[in-house]
Amino acid sequence: MKKSLLILIFPILLLANSSVLIINSYHKGYEFSDSIVNGIEKVLYPNSEIDVNILYMDSKRVTSKEYYESLEKLYMVQLKNRKYDLIITVDRFAYDFVLETYNEFFTDEPILTVGIENFSKIKAKRSGVENKVSALLEKRDLKGNLKAIRKLLPSIKKLYIINDKSLNALHTEPLIKELLKDFKEDYELIYLKEDSLDDLKTKFSKKEEDVAALFIRFYKNKDGKLNKNTEIAKFIKESKVPIFITDSIFIKKGAVGGRIVDLDRFGKTSGEMALDILNNKPHKIEVSKDLYYIFDSKKLEEFTLPVDVLKKDYEIVNKRTTFYDENRGFIDFIFTISPFLFILILGLVHNIYMRKKVEKDLRQRIDFDEVLLNAIDSPIFWQDEKGIIIDSNNIFCKLIDLNCSEIYGKRLEDFTENRNARKVVKVLEKFNEDKDENNQFKYFDENFKKKVYLVKQEKFRDEKLKSEGLVTIFTDITKEQEIAKEKQKNKQFIIQQSKLAEIGEVFSSIAHQWKSPLVEITAIAQEIFYTKKCENVKEDDSFVSDIMRQVDYMTNTINDFQKFIMPSNKKIEFDIQEAINSMLEIVNHNLKYNSIKINLNVQDGTNTMVLGYKNEFMQSFLNIINNAKDALLNNDYKNRRIEIRIFNIDRNLIITIEDNAGGIDSQNIHKIFRPYYSTK
């Protein structure tokens, strides 16, 4: 019993952690080799213990010696320090490459070559791998196809054999020559290999009776240009004569069919041979038996070919299906469940009852939504993508002074005689021109009471009906605007109140600035009085001039103060530096009195002209300076400093104000812009 158990698990142990390298002669996307590789993968991939690696040589598109030398260097890097349990080569180019480089890349790995048409033991021996090579040869059955064509077209008079001049075609050519040599039928056999695909399209573009073609391959024109599979398939499909094939690439793509190599099954057979080799079974050279009669039902019907005369097993693709074929599973299912149909009918009756109940609940929900919608004070209406009104609430109908039943199914533009409807149309037109500027409009109701509405539109999409439209909402913001105006008045009041709070500071500055000129005027007056006896006119003029100069200074001071306390009515262009200097002149004595040094630094080349409210700017700036002054009073009088810097960044004017009083507490920094907030 133990011995038989070991025999059963031995193949599994051999496959554990096996590594397989597949070298594909062509590029990924080349259907011939891809079909074979897919078949191999279907066999190998279910075995999770097998690791598969694929390399593509691209030999169909590049065949130069330099390319193969570069490829050899690339593989030298890729395969360095890699050990494989099996090397699979797909078609001739990969096999020849492995034979030439075996001693450089590999040691004793077995080789399985698939897809080649001929195997040379001498070549394998020359490379020293005659005991390591297994092969699955792909032999196209040309004679079998000729016999099948003869039976399907008993009156045939001409048969074309289509092949190209590629290296693979050279391996098939001996079979074609042998066929031509042994051919003794009573119809003409013509071998085409020097044409281009365009020539073939022209040749077979006209319908000919008793003519057919056997397509082997035509991937290269006589000038060496590669033909894509899609181009070849199009040629075969549009051909006016029946075209038979030798492999499965173009089955279901316009070819009639034939005795063909099924590449997918060929790939699966290759995969099974690979498993045998991994399980240490002896190497062998086999000719593929994956040949099948496969025909396209539509092409058989198009050319009226009686496939039953073959007297062989065959497969039909693209078969026209009957109603029974299309619904066979369903019909069988119906017969199977027929005892339960009565129960099903009862279930359907119950389902109908439940649907009616759901419809009733849905209707109640719709009625509730309608009541809820009409309870909203804002006018609302829906339009489809064509602008047709599909629903609205009563408030909107009242707004445009129309019945709701009148507007459904129509556009607002249809009510040109209705003044309110025309107004809504104009409002929406302006709104669509500029949604930021024209999003409000005024309206007077029947009592001539002014209302202000905010316009808002949103797109909606009904996924079930696959329709789109717009929902328009007019929100009454009359109260909000009144509140906003009141807030604006309060804001202006706060600003003026703030100015008044600083008037004491300004009066102090004015008093200080007026003291000196008043003393000067007093001294001059006394001097005039005591020197009155002097009748020197020039001296009198000098006294008067001094007095007027002091009076002008006082007048300018009071004028500056008057301008400062007046609110700005509109934006003006002014010089920031000049405004700051004017403000600093007002409070300069106070700063000096408190031993505060203030430095104004304007970066060279700075554009100091701005558009704004000059007095409000000076007021704000004065508040900041006074706050800095109050904070600096806690410092030693020798260490009180305010730094003001003005400079440009891009097109912006930047003003920084910095003092050395210690900064604003982090707990209060986010509160400083609140109205009335203060830590004093």
Claim to verify: residue 572 and residue 556 sit in the same structural domain:
no
Per the model's pLDDT, the better-predicted residue between 503 and 246 turns out to be 246
Domain holding 637, by residue range, is 568-680
Per-residue pLDDT tens digits for 221-273:
877 788 888 899 999 999 999 999 999 999 989 999 999 999 999 999 999 99
In a domain, 368, yes or no: no
Claim to verify: residue 608 and residue 664 sit in the same structural domain:
yes
pLDDT at residue 277, as a whole number: 93
pLDDT at residue 543, as a whole number: 59
pLDDT at residue 220, as a whole number: 80
In a domain, 45, yes or no: yes
Claim to verify: residue 310 and residue 441 sit in the same structural domain:
no
| Rg over CA atoms, the chain | 50
Per-residue pLDDT tens digits for 631-662:
888 777 678 889 999 999 988 999 999 988 88
Q: Considering 441, 474, 507, which residue would you say is the last residue of a domain?
A: 474
Question: Would the pLDDT of 16 be above 80?
Answer: no
In a domain, 452, yes or no: yes
Q: Which CATH number fits the domain that encloses residue 544?
A: 1.10.287
| Three-state SS at 400 | coil
In a domain, 280, yes or no: no
Claim to verify: residue 190 and residue 317 sit in the same structural domain:
yes
79 φ/ψ angles, rounded to the nearest 5 degrees:
-95, 0
DSSP-assigned letters across all residues of 338-386 = GGGHHHHHHHHHHHHHHHHHHHHHHHHHHHHHHHHHHT-SS-EEEEETT
Distance between CA atoms of residues 35 and 264, nearest Å:
5
Claim to verify: residue 410 and residue 394 sit in the same structural domain:
yes
C-alpha to C-alpha distances, 431 to 147, 435, 441, nearest whole angstrom: 80, 5, 10
Q: Which CATH number fits the domain that encloses residue 418?
A: 3.30.450.20
Claim to verify: residue 380 and residue 435 sit in the same structural domain:
yes
In a domain, 342, yes or no: no
Claim to verify: residue 41 and residue 61 sit in the same structural domain:
yes
Q: Considering 428, 457, 474, which residue would you say is the last residue of a domain?
A: 474
What's the chain's average pLDDT?
81
**Cβ neighbour number for residue 454 with a 10 Å cutoff:** 15
Q: Considering 432, 452, 474, which residue would you say is the last residue of a domain?
A: 474
Per-residue pLDDT tens digits for 349-384:
888 888 888 887 777 776 666 676 777 777 888 788
Please give the tally of structural domains in the chain: 5
Question: Would the pLDDT of 15 be above 60?
Answer: no
pLDDT at residue 333, as a whole number: 76
Q: What pairing do the DSSP bridges indicate for beta strands 291-296 and 314-317?
A: parallel
Tokens of 134: 């297994």
Q: What pairing do the DSSP bridges indicate for beta strands 572-575 and 609-612?
A: antiparallel
In a domain, 352, yes or no: no
Claim to verify: residue 411 and residue 542 sit in the same structural domain:
no
Tokens of 504: 């004491």
Per the model's pLDDT, the better-predicted residue between 496 and 469 turns out to be 469
450 φ/ψ angles, rounded to the nearest 5 degrees:
-75, 135
pLDDT at residue 264, as a whole number: 93
Claim to verify: residue 252 and residue 308 sit in the same structural domain:
yes
In a domain, 276, yes or no: no
Mean pLDDT value of segment 549-560: 65
87 band by pLDDT with thresholds 50, 70 and 90: very high
CA 183 to centroid of chain Cα atoms: 62
24 band by pLDDT with thresholds 50, 70 and 90: very high
Mean pLDDT value of segment 523-535: 61
Per-residue pLDDT tens digits for 297-339:
999 999 999 999 998 899 999 887 767 666 777 777 777 877 7
Diameter over CA atoms, the chain: 161
Q: Which CATH number fits the domain that encloses residue 46?
A: 3.40.50.2300
HSE of 239, CA atoms in CB hemisphere, 13 A: 30
Claim to verify: residue 179 and residue 314 sit in the same structural domain:
yes
Per-residue pLDDT tens digits for 95-148:
999 999 998 888 899 999 998 988 989 999 998 999 999 999 988 888 889 999
Claim to verify: residue 172 and residue 155 sit in the same structural domain:
yes
- Which range has the worst mean pLDDT, 164-178, 281-295, 309-323? 164-178
Claim to verify: residue 552 and residue 599 sit in the same structural domain:
no
